[in-house]
């Protein structure tokens, strides 16, 4: 099976946000589906495929884009689709938790792993992450940028770790969960004491 590369992370992040926005718009009217996680994953997958199809159809209008670009988009769509399908059947059992294990790659420094995961998967702002670590916001922003760059430059495959690799990332994932719980239990900013 081909693995999605970190280059598809931006697309995956945009599609996940679109799916969450769609859920916020539709669920109050239609009710929460029986399997909300599967609904979100399907919505994100469809948005990614729509995005890739749109880009593929627009390619002929641009001289610089040729056959190679179309092939890359088709491969990326297949990789993304396979990645989503594989994640739904994974032994970890929770989509967000699987993504956290994936993002906490050992190539990154521990503090960069946690900052990147809190920002991308946890939805915390850079300011909130900086408060949690008692660091300047600029420092945390740089950690996140460097972490993304490191993963892109190293062409790290976007795959859920298994066995020993899973255990090696456990401490970072637990740290992320702890900081997310703290922010949800006692919000560091805003009018509400607790966050959903």
pLDDT digits (tens, 9 = 90+) for 51-61: 888 877 776 66
pLDDT interval class at 1 (50, 70, 90)? very low
Q: Which residues contact 139 (CB under 8 A, 6 or more apart)?
A: 130
* pLDDT of 196 above 80: no
Q: What is the percentage of the chain residues whose pLDDT exceeds 90?
A: 7
pLDDT value of position 93: 63
Q: How far apart are CA 195 and CA 146, in angstroms?
A: 29
Across the chain, mean pLDDT equals 77
Indicate the pTM of the whole model: 0.48
Domain ranges of the chain: 6-89, 96-185
Q: Which CATH architecture has domain 96-185?
A: Orthogonal Bundle (1.10)
**88-137 residue pLDDT tens:** 555 666 777 777 887 888 888 888 888 888 888 777 888 888 887 788 99
């Amino acid at each position: 099976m081909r693995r999605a590369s970190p280059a598809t992370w931006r697309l995956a992040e945009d599609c996940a946000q679109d799916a969450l926005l769609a859920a916020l718009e539709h669920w109050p009217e239609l009710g929460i589906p029986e399997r909300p996680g599967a609904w979100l994953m399907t919505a994100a997958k469809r948005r990614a495929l729509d995005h890739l199809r749109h880009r593929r159809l627009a390619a002929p209008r641009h001289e610089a884009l040729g056959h190679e670009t179309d092939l890359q988009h088709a491969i990326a769509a297949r990789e993304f689709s396979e990645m989503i399908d594989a994640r739904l059947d994974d032994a970890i059992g929770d989509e967000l938790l699987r993504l956290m294990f994936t993002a906490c790659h050992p190539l990154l420094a521990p503090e960069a792993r946690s900052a990147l995961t809190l920002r991308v998967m946890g939805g915390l702002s850079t300011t909130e992450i900086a408060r949690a670590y008692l660091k300047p916001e600029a420092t945390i922003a740089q950690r996140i940028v460097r972490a993304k760059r490191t993963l892109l430059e190293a062409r790290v495959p976007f795959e859920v770790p298994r066995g020993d690799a899973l255990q090696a990332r456990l401490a970072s994932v637990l740290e992320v969960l702890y900081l997310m719980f703290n922010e949800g239990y006692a919000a560091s900013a805003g009018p509400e004491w607790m966050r959903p």
